[in-house]
């Protein structure tokens, strides 16, 4: 990811995006990812984003208008089918669906999912930031590093 530093943005569920923002404050997490920051953090509702695609598009579009990323990694579930082709109206960027990798970046990936067997879930110890998160299949197994809350 180093070669794209300063050009990568994320699009994901609002709670997971907030977790990633917090994790990115920790130098050891930045080192694990090999990147100092994500350029933009674009949020959609964690649930029911498909219920009103026009509203979800408007919400994302407004965030994209002020973004400067050239590449967006997206993990937005099945809403991607209705939304992805519309995003280039708001930003001249590449939009890549990385699926559950957003969960991995948030430190809540099930290591039994394909390609995550050696992943380390970084989490912030004693933080209420995890309340209300849609954990999908995450069950707490695998390698973890618990960061002290700053």
Q: What is the pLDDT along the chain (150 residues), one digit of tens a residue?
A: 566 767 999 999 999 999 999 999 999 999 999 999 999 999 998 878 878 888 888 999 999 999 999 999 999 988 888 889 999 999 999 999 999 999 999 999 988 888 888 899 999 999 999 988 888 778 787 888 899 987
Q: Which residues contact 95 (CB under 8 A, 6 or more apart)?
A: 11, 72, 74, 84, 87, 88
Q: What count of residues does the chain have?
A: 150
Q: Could you tell me the pTM of the whole model?
A: 0.91
The pLDDT value given to residue 1: 57
């Amino acid at each position: 990811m180093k070669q794209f530093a300063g050009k990568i943005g994320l699009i994901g569920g609002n709670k997971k995006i907030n977790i990633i923002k917090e994790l990115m404050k920790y130098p050891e997490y930045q080192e694990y990812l090999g990147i100092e920051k994500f350029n933009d953090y674009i949020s959609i509702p964690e649930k029911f984003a498909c219920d009103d695609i026009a509203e979800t598009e408007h919400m994302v579009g407004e965030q994209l208008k002020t973004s400067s990323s050239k590449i967006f990694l997206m993990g937005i579930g099945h809403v991607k089918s209705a939304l992805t082709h519309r995003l280039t109206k708001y930003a001249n960027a590449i939009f890549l669906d990385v699926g559950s990798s957003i969960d991995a970046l948030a430190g809540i990936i099930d290591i039994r999912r394909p390609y995550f067997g050696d992943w380390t879930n970084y989490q912030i110890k004693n933080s209420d930031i995890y309340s209300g998160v849609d954990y999908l299949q995450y069950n707490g197994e695998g390698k973890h590093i618990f960061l002290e809350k700053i």
